[in-house]
Structure 1
Amino acid sequence: MEHLGKRKWVIAEGYIPKYGNGKEPEFTSHETACILNTGEEKAEIKITIFFSDREPAGPYKVEVGAKRTLHLRFNQLKDPEEIPKGTDYSSVIESSVPVVVQHSRLDSRQAENALLSTMAYSE
Structure 2
Amino acid sequence: MCEDKGKQNWVFCDGDLPPAGEKEPFGHEALMVTNLNSEQAILTIDILFEDKEPSKGITMLLKEERVICIRLDKPFGDQKYLIPRGQYSLVLHSSIPVVAVFGRLDVRQANLSYYSVHGYAY
2: CA distance between counterparts of 1:35 and 1:81? Answer: 18
22, 29, 38: which is aligned to 1:40? 38
Is the counterpart of residue 69 in structure 1 residue 67 in structure 2?
yes
Q: Give the RMSD, CA atoms, in angstroms.
A: 1.5
Q: How big is the shift at 1:31?
A: 1.0
Matched residues, percent identical? 33
Give the aligned residue type for 1:83: I
- Normalised TM-score (structure 1): 0.88
2: CA distance between counterparts of 1:16 and 1:47? Answer: 17
Q: How big is the shift at 1:80?
A: 6.0
Q: How big is the shift at 1:100?
A: 0.3
Query: Given that residues 11 and 90 in structure 2 are in contact (C-alpha distance below 8 angstroms), is that contact kept between their aligned partners in structure 1?
Result: yes
1: CA distance between counterparts of 2:115 and 2:89? Answer: 16
Give the aligned residue type for 1:9: W
Give the unaligned 5+ runs of structure 2: none
Q: How big is the shift at 1:82?
A: 1.5
Is the counterpart of residue 53 in structure 1 residue 57 in structure 2?
no
2: CA distance between counterparts of 1:58 and 1:80? Answer: 13
1: CA distance between counterparts of 2:70 and 2:80? Answer: 16
Query: Given that residues 42 and 94 in structure 2 are in contact (C-alpha distance below 8 angstroms), is that contact kept between their aligned partners in structure 1?
Result: yes
Residue of structure 2 in register with 1:83 after alignment: 83
Residue of structure 1 in register with 2:15 after alignment: 14
SS in structure 1 opposite 2:57?
strand
Give the aligned residue type for 2:52: R
Residue of structure 2 in register with 1:118 after alignment: 117
Give the unaligned 5+ runs of structure 1: none
Query: Given that residues 5 and 98 in structure 1 are in contact (C-alpha distance below 8 angstroms), is that contact kept between their aligned partners in structure 2?
Result: yes
1: CA distance between counterparts of 2:114 and 2:22? Answer: 13
2: CA distance between counterparts of 1:11 and 1:74? Answer: 13
Q: How big is the shift at 1:89?
A: 0.4
